[in-house]
Amino acid sequence: MTDVDSPASESSQGIRLSPAQAVALAVAVVIVVLVSLAVGRLTAPNPAPPSTMSAEAGFARDMQEHHNQAVELALIVRDKTDDPDTRLLAYDIATSQSQQSGQMFGWLAEWGLPQAPAEPSMTWMLRPPLGGGGGHSDRGDGGSVDGAMPDMAMPDMATPGTVTPGMAMPGMATREQILQLEGLSGQQAEVQFLELMIAHHLGGVEMAAAILERSDVNVVRDLAAGILSVQKSEIALMQRMLAERR
């Protein structure tokens, strides 16, 4: 006769664990999974960081300088006008571009690269696009550079044939223009600022579109796509503001 309480009978129904044993087993499984993931990360090959002569490094250095001038222009106009819309726009530009400039500074540090340029400005734009094509793509943006602003006259995008090492970055204001802005106030300062910043943003859009064609580094592509999106929106806003003041 078979005893229903015998070990053999219990085995035929499956192993029964106490609550404490079940918790211990679950913890052990989690530990095994975490260890496996950690070992996988340690043994998986890490992608090499961009080199000092890469398009990513050149973009990070040049765009920092480009952003820093935008911050300078924004801070100047905030002291030259009481208009709340202009001051809010200037604040947004100064804070966002300061933060992005810090991001790019951090990239270079993380990649073990010097902050100082390794080659003349804009040289990185001579690097061939990843796909080998010549036109600007819509990668990371969801729409083409030109098509994103159908009501705007976009400047001709720089191509390897028009870029020369050491050339001024697109959209940068001259020192004379900055001094002129410093000497203005009120609506005159607002108009000057908007004109300069529209041109500056168009240059930033061009540079962001260029690096999207030349980089597959996720952090670089994410920031460039964000620059495209935000600066296009701000260009449209500034065009409306400028029309109201003329």
**Count of residues making up the chain:** 246
CB atoms within 10 A of CB 176: 8
State if pTM tops 0.75: no
In this prediction, residue 140 carries a pLDDT of 34
What does the block give as tokens for 88? 């809010």
Cα 244 from chain centroid (whole Å): 31
- Quote the DSSP letter at residue 172: P
pLDDT single digits (tens) 231-244: 999 999 999 999 99
- Sorting pLDDT into bands at 50, 70 and 90, what band is 83? very high
CA atoms of 210 and 136, how far apart (whole Å) = 7
Residue 37 has pLDDT above 50, yes or no: yes
In the predicted model, what is the mean pLDDT of residues 76-99? 97
- Quote the DSSP letter at residue 166: T
In this prediction, residue 114 carries a pLDDT of 97
In this prediction, residue 163 carries a pLDDT of 77
Q: How far from 23 is each of 14, 29, 34, 107, 150, CA to CA, in Å?
A: 18, 10, 17, 43, 61
Mean pLDDT over all residues of the chain? 81
- Sorting pLDDT into bands at 50, 70 and 90, what band is 164? confident
Q: Please choose, from the candidates 196, 207, 225, 229, the residue with its C-alpha nearest in 3D space to the C-alpha of residue 86.
A: 196
Asked if residues 194 and 245 have their Cβ atoms less than 8 Å apart, the reply is: yes
